[in-house]
């Protein structure tokens, strides 16, 4: 049986100014991974409604493996507004299907054949989905890549959820604003809302390496928006400036970065090469509307 590269958590519709777009960070991850020829699989839950049927149809149309049990709650939606730079703000509905992901035998079978798993904090806001995600991670092979793409949204996280997730992960993907939050609540670094940690290169390195050491991570990936990104391992550090592009919106750009990096890494590419490809793909996604554009051949 071929190995799976899995995104588990929320699958939903982003309701953007120009209309509805399929999204959810783990689903975006699975979709983009599959564009590089890997066996991507999206795991979530949907409602017994038209939006749920539409998610299944869209995943089938792009040939994406999926496990989407139907539950009593409605399929998730998020109201997305964009600022003048295309940066999204999210209003995330409560009590939706992906808050109630049940653990199934099919999921456990896929977990045992996982090559990599990407999960975040948002779907863990509910106890039901959190327990499913934890059990799924625990059922995966010991050598599977476990990527915690932290994806902090609004107030839907706690220090306990973040710490538990880091203890189950071997890779952390985080952005500059999230790094401030995590450094404050897990490392006791004083918060300074007027100066992000990531604006101080030496402090950034210290905080990232403290997180790697404390949680025994293989690597930490830090993105800093339109400025730059880093990849830290125990023995390497890669820095790449973010290219300037005309931004349509940045919805899903971080997910495409994570997916591209993981795909290249699993395909045996060196850290630096995987990093550069991830930067290029996420910049392209920023020029497109929505989180799941088809990649041009030059990016594959």
| Structure confidence by residue, pLDDT tens digits, 243-257 | 999 888 777 789 999
Cα distance between residue 82 and residue 77, in whole Å: 16
Nearest Cα residue to 93 out of 76, 80, 105, 69: 76
Decide: 129 and 9 in contact? Cβ < 8 Å: yes
Confidence at 80, pLDDT banded by 50, 70, 90: confident
Cα distance between residue 300 and residue 236, in whole Å: 25
Confidence at 30, pLDDT banded by 50, 70, 90: very high
Cα distance between residue 124 and residue 143, in whole Å: 23
Average pLDDT, rounded, for the chain: 92
Fold exhibited by the domain 4-293: 3.40.1190
* Residue 84 confidence (pLDDT) above 90: no
Residues 271-298: pLDDT tens digits?
999 999 999 999 999 888 877 888 877 8
Cα distance between residue 276 and residue 144, in whole Å: 23
Most confident of 70-84, 105-119, 195-209: 105-119
Buried-state track 248-264, b at ≥16 Cβ within 10 A, e below 16: bbbbbbbbbbbbbbbbb
- Sequence spans of domains, the chain: 4-293
Q: Which pLDDT belongs to residue 49?
A: 96
Q: Which pLDDT belongs to residue 86?
A: 66
Q: Which pLDDT belongs to residue 298?
A: 84
Q: Helices (H), strands (E): how many in the chain? A: 9, 15
Confidence at 194, pLDDT banded by 50, 70, 90: low
């Amino acid at each position: 049986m071929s190995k799976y590269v899995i995104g588990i958590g929320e699958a939903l519709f982003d309701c953007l100014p120009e209309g509805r777009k399929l999204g959810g960070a783990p689903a975006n991850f699975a979709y983009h991974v599959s564009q590089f020829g890997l066996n991507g699989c999206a795991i979530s839950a949907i409602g017994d409604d038209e939006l749920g049927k539409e998610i299944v149809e869209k995943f089938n149309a792009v040939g994406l493996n999926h496990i989407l049990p139907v539950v009593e709650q409605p399929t998730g939606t998020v109201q997305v507004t964009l600022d003048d730079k295309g940066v999204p703000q999210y209003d995330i509905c409560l009590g939706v299907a992906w808050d109630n992901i049940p653990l199934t035998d099919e999921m456990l079978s896929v977990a045992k054949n996982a090559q990599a798993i990407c999960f975040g904090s948002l779907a863990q806001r509910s106890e039901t989905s959190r327990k499913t995600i934890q059990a799924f991670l625990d059922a995966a092979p010991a050598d599977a890549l476990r990527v915690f793409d932290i994806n902090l949204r609004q107030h839907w996280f706690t220090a306990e959820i973040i710490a538990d997730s880091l203890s189950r992960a071997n890779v952390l993907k985080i952005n500059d604003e999230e790094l401030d939050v995590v450094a404050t609540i897990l490392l006791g670094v004083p918060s300074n809302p007027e100066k992000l940690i990531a604006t101080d290169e030496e402090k950034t390195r210290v905080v990232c390496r403290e997180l790697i050491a404390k949680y025994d991570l293989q690597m930490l990936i830090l993105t800093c928006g339109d400025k730059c990104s880093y990849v830290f391992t125990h023995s390497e550090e890669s820095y790449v400036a973010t290219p300037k592009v005309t931004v349509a919106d940045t919805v899903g750009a971080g997910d495409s970065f994570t997916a591209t990096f993981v795909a290249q890494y699993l395909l045996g590419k060196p850290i630096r090469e995987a990093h550069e490809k991830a930067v290029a793909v996420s910049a392209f996604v920023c020029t497109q509307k929505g989180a799941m554009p088809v990649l041009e051949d030059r990016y594959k």
